[in-house]
């Protein structure tokens, strides 16, 4: 979602039966291949220049095939810096969210930086794609507010669920059954789930900032924005509109700038405390290898694992195809070369992140910003990995960021993810009604898993009652049954 956002962020990836014969399908998603004439010409020019200067003999040129991809070390470095600046906000936001689950904030900061660095480096060296990874937005909120706070898991048990989802992701990627799974899920539900995760982030952001508060009569109501003794809600809204404006103006690092500006404003107001900028990294020991598999046989554990897996798979699919299409990396048939390597790198990220103490690590759509700056190979991702390692020394800066500042970023991400609703098909009530139920149930039940479950159940029931049961895949029937049993069981 920002940020680990997925299919909903790629309006051109929507299924459309009116596409012409030149269009192709990858992992159940449709797109138009980009013209390669210009890219071929550029690649030839760069290869010629590289050969004449002798740089084609260098390690970076040979390993990442820079000339073949029409790029240079300088271009890849700038692209990597661009990607890093657009997604580095996660090192401030992720510790704040997971701290709500009782995790050590300093340890999570270190785990976030290391998970992002190592996972992105694996993507760079194994798949050679300009795609960066970090703990995913939405999944971290689901981890803290649903799995731990609502389902009463310990954060150690939640990490075990993340690890299991990564193992399953690895297996379905290894044995090439991921495309079948994606094609088995109703199209509208794919987009609705991404939008619903956005709504889930929105209610968390509004609650944390005090913009929305509880009310016995109406469930929720507007917080006290006129309280001069607590300007946190106002500063959150200020940060939100600043982030929106900067991103609309395509200012690199706009989200990070917005967070820092409102955090600094809060220091003289007593809402934030300056603790320094640079220091040695905190200890990762409080979260390192703390997984607890004691609830692995419970139905709730399986539902949690599936929910992590489901969101990660579709986030990853949308990001890989969207970024690769923008970079012109799809082949003439519209297929993504080294797709298996990219998927395995992403599944490794989920497993590795859980082992060191963070929620699901996944591919980031913000990688598209680096591609727009010219990034075409894994060297871009390698630069991002190095920068995340350097970020380890800025833990005091991360520690001073207040909740209202990170809430501003969450609210922005929520708006971006909500675009998925626009890509849904609205001409069939049995298709869009279940999708809407899934999207609105996530924030109102404070659970991504519940939203997914209600979506599948209503989808299957609507199709059966209208005599269109043949349109439902076997996987959808099975998932609807599993969720129905889970909802019917006490606790």
Could you report the per-residue pLDDT of 224-275, keeping only the tens digit for each?
888 888 899 999 999 999 999 999 998 888 888 999 999 999 999 999 888 8
Q: Transcribe 255-288 into DSSP letters.
A: HHHHHHHHHHHHTTTTSS----S--PPPP-TTTT
Could you report the per-residue pLDDT of 73-122, keeping only the tens digit for each?
999 999 999 899 889 999 999 999 999 999 999 999 999 999 999 999 99
pLDDT band, very low/low/confident/very high, at 211 (cuts 50, 70, 90): very high
Q: H-helix or E-strand containing 29? A: strand 29-31
Res. 36: pLDDT tops 60: no
Pairwise CA distance, residues 272 & 46, whole Å: 49
3-state secondary structure (DSSP) of residue 181:
helix
Q: What is the mean pLDDT of residues 209-228?
A: 90
Question: Do residues 474 and 291 make contact, with C-beta atoms less than 8 angstroms apart?
Answer: no
pLDDT for 437 equals 96
Instruction: Look up residue 461 and give its two tokens.
Output: 């029931």
pLDDT for 17 equals 36
Q: In 210-253, which ranges are continuous DSSP H helix?
A: 232-248
Q: What is the mean pLDDT of residues 280-286?
A: 96
pLDDT band, very low/low/confident/very high, at 40 (cuts 50, 70, 90): low
Pairwise CA distance, residues 86 & 473, whole Å: 39
Res. 367: pLDDT tops 60: yes
Pairwise CA distance, residues 304 & 155, whole Å: 13
pLDDT for 486 equals 81
Pairwise CA distance, residues 232 & 262, whole Å: 9
Res. 389: pLDDT tops 60: yes
Q: Which positions ≥6 away from 75 have C-beta within 8 Å?
A: 373, 374, 375, 376
pLDDT for 3 equals 54
**Which of 215-219, 250-254, 385-389 is modeled with the greatest confidence?**
385-389
pLDDT for 25 equals 41
- Enter the DSSP assignment of 468: -
Instruction: Look up residue 355 and give its two tokens.
Output: 């082992």
For residue 365, which of 79, 75, 85, 7 has the smallest C-alpha distance?
A: 7
Instruction: Look up residue 384 and give its two tokens.
Output: 């991002």
pLDDT for 333 equals 64
Residue-averaged pLDDT of the chain: 84
Question: Do residues 109 and 98 make contact, with C-beta atoms less than 8 angstroms apart?
Answer: no
Q: Where are the beta strands (DSSP E) in 278-435?
A: 361-363
Q: What are the distances in angstroms from CA 253 to CA 82, 139, 247, 456? A: 8, 22, 8, 38
Pairwise CA distance, residues 126 & 381, whole Å: 11
Question: Do residues 153 and 164 make contact, with C-beta atoms less than 8 angstroms apart?
Answer: no
Cβ neighbours of 320 (radius 10 Å): 27
**CA-angle at 124, arms to 122 and 130, nearest 5°:** 135
Pairwise CA distance, residues 486 & 423, whole Å: 30
For residue 421, which of 168, 106, 83, 194 has the smallest C-alpha distance?
A: 194
pLDDT for 129 equals 92
pLDDT for 348 equals 95
**Which of 343-347, 418-422, 484-488 is modeled with the greatest confidence?**
343-347
pLDDT for 16 equals 38
For residue 442, which of 460, 479, 417, 466 has the smallest C-alpha distance?
A: 417
Question: Do residues 259 and 246 make contact, with C-beta atoms less than 8 angstroms apart?
Answer: no
Could you report the per-residue pLDDT of 290-335, keeping only the tens digit for each?
999 999 999 889 989 988 998 888 777 767 777 777 777 777 766 6
3-state secondary structure (DSSP) of residue 31:
strand
- Enter the DSSP assignment of 198: H
3-state secondary structure (DSSP) of residue 134:
strand
Could you report the per-residue pLDDT of 8-35, keeping only the tens digit for each?
444 333 333 333 333 444 444 444 444 4
**pTM check: above 0.75:** yes
Could you report the per-residue pLDDT of 144-166, keeping only the tens digit for each?
998 999 899 999 999 999 999 99
Res. 52: pLDDT tops 50: no
pLDDT above 70 coverage of the chain, percent: 86
For residue 197, which of 26, 77, 66, 315 has the smallest C-alpha distance?
A: 315
For residue 116, which of 336, 366, 328 has the smallest C-alpha distance?
A: 366
Res. 37: pLDDT tops 90: no
Q: What is the mean pLDDT of residues 42-56?
A: 48
Res. 385: pLDDT tops 90: yes
Instruction: Look up residue 391 and give its two tokens.
Output: 């970020």
Question: Do residues 373 and 78 make contact, with C-beta atoms less than 8 angstroms apart?
Answer: yes
214 forms beta bridges with: 220
Pairwise CA distance, residues 178 & 293, whole Å: 25
Which residue reads 């090439």 in tokens?
A: 176
For residue 7, which of 241, 325, 250, 240 has the smallest C-alpha distance?
A: 325
Res. 46: pLDDT tops 80: no
Considering only CA atoms, give the Rg of the chain.
22
Res. 174: pLDDT tops 70: yes
Pairwise CA distance, residues 147 & 193, whole Å: 17
3-state secondary structure (DSSP) of residue 170:
helix
Looking only at the bridges linking them, the beta strands covering 133-135 and 361-363 are antiparallel
pLDDT for 15 equals 37
């Amino acid at each position: 979602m920002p940020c680990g956002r997925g299919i909903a962020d790629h309006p051109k990836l929507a299924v459309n039966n009116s596409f012409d014969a030149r269009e192709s399908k990858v992992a159940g998603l449709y797109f138009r291949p980009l013209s390669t004439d210009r890219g071929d010409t550029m690649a030839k020019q760069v290869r010629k220049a590289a050969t004449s200067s002798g740089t084609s003999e260098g390690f970076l040129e040979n390993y990442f095939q820079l000339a073949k991809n029409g790029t240079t070390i300088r271009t890849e470095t700038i692209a990597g810096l661009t990607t890093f600046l657009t997604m580095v906000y996660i090192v401030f936001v992720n510790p704040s969210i997971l701290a709500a689950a009782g995790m050590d904030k300093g340890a999570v900061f270190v785990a976030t930086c290391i998970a992002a660095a190592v996972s992105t480096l694996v993507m760079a060296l194994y798949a050679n794609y300009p795609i960066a990874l970090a703990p995913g937005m939405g999944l971290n909120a689901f981890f803290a507010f649903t799995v731990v706070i609502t389902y009463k898991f310990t954060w150690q048990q939640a990490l075990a669920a993340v690890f299991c989802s990564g193992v399953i992701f690895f297996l379905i990627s290894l044995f090439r059954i991921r495309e079948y799974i994606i094609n088995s899920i109703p199209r509208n539900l794919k987009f609705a789930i991404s939008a619903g995760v956005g709504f889930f982030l929105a209610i968390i952001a509004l609650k944390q900032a005090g913009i929305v508060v509880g009310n016995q009569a109406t469930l929720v109501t507007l917080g006290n924005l006129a309280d001069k003794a607590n300007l946190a809600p106002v500063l959150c809204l200020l940060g939100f509109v600043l982030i929106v404006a900067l991103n609309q103006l395509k200012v690199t690092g706009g989200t990070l700038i917005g967070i820092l500006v409102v955090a600094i404003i809060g220091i003289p107001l007593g809402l934030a405390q300056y603790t320094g900028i640079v220091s040695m990294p905190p200890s990762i020991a409080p979260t390192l290898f703390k997984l607890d598999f004691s609830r692995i046989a419970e139905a709730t554990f399986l539902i949690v694992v599936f929910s992590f897996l489901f969101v990660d798979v579709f986030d990853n699919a949308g990001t890989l195809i969207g970024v690769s299409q923008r970079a012109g990396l799809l082949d003439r048939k519209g297929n993504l070369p080294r797709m298996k390597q990219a998927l395995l790198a992403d599944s490794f990220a989920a497993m590795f992140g859980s082992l060191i103490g963070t929620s699901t690590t996944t591919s980031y759509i913000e990688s598209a910003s680096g591609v727009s700056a010219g990034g075409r190979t894994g060297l871009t991702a390698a630069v991002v990995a190095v920068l995340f390692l350097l970020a380890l020394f800025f833990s005091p800066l991360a520690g001073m960021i207040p909740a209202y500042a990170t809430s501003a970023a969450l609210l922005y991400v929520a708006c971006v993810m909500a675009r998925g609703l626009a890509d849904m098909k609205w001409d069939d009530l049995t298709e869009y009604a279940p999708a809407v139920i899934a999207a609105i149930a996530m924030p109102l039940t404070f659970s991504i898993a519940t939203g997914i479950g209600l979506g599948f159940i209503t989808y299957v029931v609507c199709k059966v009652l209208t005599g269109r049961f043949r349109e439902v895949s076997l996987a959808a029937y099975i998932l609807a049954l599993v969720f129905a049993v889970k909802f019917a069981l006490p606790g």
